[in-house]
Amino acid sequence: MTDSNVIVIPSKACLNLFTTIRDQTTPPAQFQFAADRLMTILAEETIAELATTPVTVHTPVAAFDGVAVSTDSMCAVSIIRAGDSLLECVRRLLPGVSTGKILIQRDEETALPKMFYSKLPPDVASKKVILCDPMLATGGSAIMAIESLESFGVEPKNIIFSNVVACPEGLKAMADRYPDVKVVTACIDEGLNEKKFIVPGLGDYGDRFFNTV
């Protein structure tokens, strides 16, 4: 994975939103609202990294050369459960996009991932895939999800991993295993603590977003 394959979105609005969602005293409703705004920015930037088709449109006064994105060539896949929150942002921006689900859970004692379930569109191998998961910690879950996509014929170069918070350890693990996968993130944190949690992080994203703390 080269530096060009790791993109940190350049939005100044993210700092304010991160301040809200990192604060442990932020109530669930406010966390959900701020996280949804942040993930919408992230989803827009991720979509912008996909292949586009040049088009010419006409304004009321002149022609304009722009680009178009077709949902027919894309698939959005979430790593359940936290990834579902980001998946819904992508689906709002790309109505009608085909979707898939992968369930991977991390053993809190060993920090190792375990695959439980995957459901993907039958033609996923022919699509560009946005893989959604808010946190990239050890990289184990993301790598296992990409392995699942590979087993369905998806080429790593056609996968964009979209996440809210990454850390150097997770990015290195991804780069070592899948250098062709592009990562679009809103922030790169300091690293992992002894329990393999991101520091400073924001706690368990899924629990806070879905109010199951």
pLDDT over 90 (residue 213) = no
Task: Give the separation between CA 138 and CA 51, rounded to whole angstroms.
Answer: 29
Q: Domain extents for the chain?
A: 3-53+67-209
The pLDDT value given to residue 131? 98
The pLDDT value given to residue 126? 95
Cis preceding linkage at 156, omega within 30: no
pLDDT over 70 (residue 178) = yes
From the candidate CATH numbers 3.40.50.2020, 3.90.1300.10, 3.30.428.10, 3.40.50.1100, the one assigned to the domain spanning 3-53+67-209: 3.40.50.2020
Question: How many CA atoms are closer than 13 Å to the CA of 43, on its beta-carbon side?
Answer: 24
The pLDDT value given to residue 51? 79
Question: How many CA atoms are closer than 13 Å to the CA of 200, on its beta-carbon side?
Answer: 7
* Amino acid found at 12: K
What amino acid positions are annotated as catalytic residues?
106, 110, 204, 207
